[in-house]
Amino acid sequence: MALAIVIGCTFLLLLGLLAVIGWGGHPLKDPAPASASIEAGPPPPRDSAGPAPGEVRGAPEDPSDAKIAALRKYLWWANVATFAALASALLAAWPGGRLIMRVLALTSPDSAQGRLTEAQANVGFPTLEGSLALFFFAGLPAGYLVAILYVVLHRWLPAGRLAGPLLGVLLLIWLGALLDPLRADNIDFNIVGPGWLAVALFTGLSILHGAVAAAAAGWWSERLPLWADRTAKYYAPLLLGFVLFPPAAVAVGLGALVLLTWMTIFPVGSAVARGRARLPAWAGAGVLIAASAAALPAFVSAVISIASRTT
């Protein structure tokens, strides 16, 4: 079983690398009309005076139409984030985390074998149940976190292939020492090691995770139309995400409720709606730099602590 798990995770990780090579650098594009060429065959006939199904021509004048248009765009972004989350969890976070655990078990002394980790797993004895638990309770949450933040922050990241890897590094600095994977008070680093190898492997995995999420989001955004009856099949990733990770369904539902409430209080055309302005790229980049500077001391301290441990 251990060999099968290692082979399977290695295969998935290689697929993640291929995804980065093939899809990396695709920019995250805004939603295209549902009548785009992704649908086979000519577009359905329509009245020349009106838009095609799924096509948006400016903000609708009717408040109900405006809310529907906003919901469709919101679901589009949720679908892109979900696709990137599932892809990065399956092709990076989950198999990478599993392989790192296996490598650290092999590089640890005999005294570490069989000991219980913080997650109540036995060092050196990978199981199918433990691997599935790692996917649902670590891989998927990490996948959603990275994908959502990429969708939110991508305009402030450098264009091209550097965006995803840079996001991986930033998230490692911001959250690595606070949550995981480089939390200094994690007892696992007292059991397996060496510490410097753990730091190197988790840093590399964070970079790959960000790259896979960015590549998947960019690739899918080029092919995903806005929601319409004839494009519903493209929203299968969103449904799959709801099934595999129910908190995502709750989050998307709450987000839709907030959106509708906001548009009810501040309808399209109101002074508040007209006054909304997007944060300039330079200001957004400044926010990222400031957040990184604030988190860097704790991150460096955790890295030094872990890297200096021997088992």
Mean pLDDT of 61-83: 91
The answer to whether residue 236 scores a pLDDT higher than 90 is yes
Q: What percent of the chain has pLDDT over 70?
A: 87
Give the alpha-carbon dihedral of 288, 178, 215, 72, to 10 degrees: -80
Please name the residues in contact with 267: beta carbons below 8 A apart, sequence gap of 6 or more: 63, 66, 273
For position 37, what pLDDT does the model report? 40
Q: Could you tell me if residue 103 is inside a domain?
A: yes
Q: What percent of the chain has pLDDT over 90?
A: 68
Q: Could you tell me if residue 34 is inside a domain?
A: no
Q: Could you tell me if residue 139 is inside a domain?
A: yes
Q: What tens digit of pLDDT does each residue of 264-288 get?
A: 998 866 655 555 667 788 888 999 9
Q: What tens digit of pLDDT does each residue of 140-161 get?
A: 999 999 999 999 999 999 988 9
For position 173, what pLDDT does the model report? 97
Q: What angle do CA 128, 130, 132 make, to 5 degrees?
A: 70
For position 248, what pLDDT does the model report? 96
Instruction: Give the C-alpha distances (Å, rounded to integers) separating 218 from 32, 160, 197, 249, 291.
Output: 13, 10, 32, 22, 25
Q: Could you tell me if residue 46 is inside a domain?
A: no
Higher pLDDT residue, 40 or 141?
141
Decide: pTM greater than 0.85.
Answer: yes
Q: What angle do CA 186, 190, 191 make, to 5 degrees?
A: 110
Residue 85 near residue 150, CB atoms below 8 Å: no
Taking only Cα atoms into account, the Rg of the chain, rounded to an integer number of angstroms, comes to 22
Q: Which of 19-23, 117-121, 139-143, 177-181 has the lowest mean pLDDT?
A: 117-121
Most confident among 11-25, 37-51, 269-283 (mean pLDDT): 11-25
Q: Could you tell me if residue 286 is inside a domain?
A: yes
Number of folded domains that form the chain: 1
The answer to whether residue 88 scores a pLDDT higher than 80 is yes
Q: Could you tell me if residue 48 is inside a domain?
A: no
Domain span at residue 238? Answer: 2-24+61-307
What tokens does 121 get? 């797993």
The answer to whether residue 239 scores a pLDDT higher than 70 is yes
The answer to whether residue 41 scores a pLDDT higher than 60 is no
Listed in sequence order, the DSSP H helices in the chain are 2-23, 63-88, 94-107, 128-134, 140-153, 163-175, 195-221, 236-244, 246-265, 271-275, 281-307
Q: Could you tell me if residue 230 is inside a domain?
A: yes
Q: Could you tell me if residue 39 is inside a domain?
A: no
